[in-house]
A and B are shown apart, each in its own frame.
Chain A
Amino acid sequence: MDILYLLIPLSLVLVFAIGGLFWWAINNRQFDELDHQGQRILDDVDG
């Protein structure tokens, strides 16, 4: 059970890392426009 002394702090680090990553993604407009990007390949002109 000693591994818990590593896993619990590790899980904490992960939680904060995931939260931080999500924060970064939103603030960098990764979720701003989900519909159009998939169709961009069909555009005649490079967008």
Chain B
Amino acid sequence: MTQLSGVNNKRKFPMATSQTEDQLVQSERLTLSGMHCAACVQLIEFRLRQLPGIELFRINTATHKADVIWKAGENNLKNIIAAIIHLGYGALPSSQSPDEFEKKENKLALWRLFIAGFAMMQIMMYAFPAYLVPVPQVDGDLTPDLDKLLKIASMLITVPVIGFSALPFFRAAWRDMRNRHIGMDVPVSLGILLTFFASVWATFAGGVVYYDSVIMFVFLLLAARLIESKVQKKTSVALRVLTQLVPVSAQKLKNYPASRDVESLDATLLQIGDFVLVAPGEHIPADGVVLEGRSECDESLMTGESVPVLKQVGDQVIAGAVNASGTLIVKTEKVGMETHLSSLISMMEVAATEKPPIVLLADKHASRFLSLILVVAVVTGIVWFYIAPARALWIAISVIVVTCPCALSLATPGVMSAAIGLLAKNGVLIKNGKAIQSMAQATHFVFDKTGTLTVGKLSLIEQKASRHVLAAETIAFLLASGSTHPASKAIADALAMQYQSSLIMGVDAMHEVAGGGIEARIDGNLYRLGSVSFAAELSQQTIIVPAEMASQTVSVLADNAGVILLFGLSDALRDDAVATVSKLQLQHKHVMLLSGDREEVVHKVARECGIVDARAGLSPADKFDVVQSLQKQGAIVVVVGDGMNDGPALSLANVAVAMGQGAPISQTRSDVLLMSNRLSDLDFGFTVANKAFRLIRENLIWAIAYNMFAIPAATLGWLEPWHAALGMSLSSVIVVLNALRLYLLPQPSYVVTDQLA
């Protein structure tokens, strides 16, 4: 029996323990996927209950989770999961611990809102009579006794709202005060507490009460915050999807290559240099290199690419990818928090908390603004004490309550995290929160050529047969697949389709000549694949390359009788390069191509993409200078690059965009990472950034306009406390709802076209 020790967090179900004291029971919660209807549920439950040793199996249709309890001696988790997968559904052990806490928090937040809402409905019953009748002059209907009873009832209803629903505000305010910083929660808490205690005092001493305002205020503010935290949660779910990929268990080959004994252990316990076995359907537990096997891996959550990528011996695999078809043996190179996946997640988590400069500026003033408001409130109170002592306290409270820096405290983080989550889902990772603003304001786009506008590796463009040889393609494929040279790889990839495995050919004496090509004896004949001169040597004939292939890299397949096949190779443009460039130009952005490559190659690419401003033969320092001089003229420059030679320009750029397949150095210096290698995502990224920045600005303008009107009105005594409470809390709700508009953006849908990248 294989023990998946890392995933068996033994959660006992209360009902199961009593029945099975004689035997060890194990329990696990599974996350199921692929269930759509009640029939699915029944099918899975029916099948699972037939398995031996299953004590309990119950599916929760709403959450797509299943609880399973089984006797340890009679079954194991692997069998159970295999049975579900066999039915055509997905099942994974769900590690519970992280969301348990979050769920509890969420539940509590809902309770707080519910209590406030419930109290808000109820309190109107008690507050309503006082609004109708000016209380003292009564003709028998609302006696002072009854009035007092209603006020006491209102007070009792308000107690749970103050003592439970409003607690988060008080806590945050207390934290702010301790840190000698005035945040939004300070005036909010002050307003709530002052209004409540002044009303309590008025209940017994006589006067107006504002219990209903307090409750409404708490309810609307809680509602705004709940929406806002939902948005943030959505982003953290997008990030969590990535973290859930972090595999929980791994199968380590203890004495590889001597034996194939596996040992299951927690993936976090893996060491660099361990050998692990990855069965089909499992997650790859760590970054590493394939030593044995051939399989397709689904890296879609990292790259957004939905087609599995072929992995063979020598290929890099990334932790979290799903091994789709064959068994792989992988030597680990990076483990635990070091993996590509883990480092990306932590970078994005940091980015989600960063604020763009415009918000930082507003934040800085917000704190000062709030302190000023407290002073204004006190002054207003003192002034009004001499004008109308009875109203002084209420007017001061109105001033405190009406101030609303909500655009900053609530909606900006909302917009930011919504934008980052939306982009992450589409394969664009924002590593730096400031990038959102710079992206929105960008004027110049500088592209690198190789690997950015082009695929970055050779591909077969043209193929010419100069004489007919039986199964020439198969011979070329056999030769090409024996080498790792980019040209050979390109030929092998292109010919793999035509490879006829039915033709069994004996390959002998294959060897590679550096700078030349490959030579091998196939079915007794000697063949060469490689450069023109290398191939020509075999037959002692000169090979004439057709003129139309002059601008390409040429590879030749020849035997001792002369040329068989000519291959024309070149670095192809990305499918979406032309569309992306023209879209940017339509938005009146200045697009440039800076490359270190030869003049004619660069200009050919520029022509194809429609870029006018193309410069060739630039060193990394030249690129740096170009970007610098653009910035001196006031341009906001986005640099899109992938290689070592873009490093300096990327670090200088206002926004540095790196391709996911690019060199690690360009990735670490970048603000934005295109995981999918799709240039069209760049366009989507800028659309989202534009919209997000616009929403942030709208919210700021709203906040300023609202305060410009509301604060003078409150100091002049035009506003009752309930006006202030309504205005402030509605303003919060408006700002939060405005932030949600980001989700209205249409998300790109992809037709997967090429497998080249």
Contact = CB atoms under 8 A, between A and B. Distances in A.
Contact of B156 (A12, A36, A39, A47): A12
Contact of A44 (B46, B126, B143, B153): B46
A44 B115 contact: no
B126 A8 contact: yes
A12 B119 CA distance: 10
B58 A12 contact: no
A9 B62 CA distance: 40
B606 to A, nearest CB: 58
Nearest to B110: A26
Interface string A1-31: 1001100110110010011001100000000
Interface string B103-137: 00000000100110011001001100000000000
Most buried by B among A11, A15, A39: A15
A8 B61 contact: no
Given A1-B141, A5-B149, A19-B118, A11 B125 contact: yes
Given A45-B46, A47-B45, A33 B62 contact: yes
Given A5-B149, A15-B118, A39 B141 contact: no
B361 interface: no
Nearest to A19: B118
B150 interface: yes
Contact of B62 (A18, A34, A39, A44): A34
A1 B157 CA distance: 22
B230 interface: no
B38 A1 contact: no
A18 B38 CA distance: 33
Contact of A8 (B59, B119, B140, B149): B149
Contacts of A44: 42, 46
Nearest to B50: A45
B8 interface: no
A47 B149 contact: no
Contact of A36 (B46, B60, B119, B157): B60
Interface of A: 1, 4-5, 8-9, 11-12, 15, 18-19, 22-23, 32-36, 39, 42-45, 47
Given A4-B149, A15-B157, A47-B45, 16 more contacts: A1-B140, A1-B141, A8-B126, A8-B149, A12-B153, A18-B118, A19-B160, A22-B114, A23-B111, A33-B60, A35-B38, A35-B61, A39-B38, A43-B42, A44-B42, A47-B58
Interface of B: 38, 41-42, 45-46, 49, 58-62, 111, 114-115, 118-119, 122, 125-126, 140-141, 143, 146, 149-150, 153, 156-157, 160
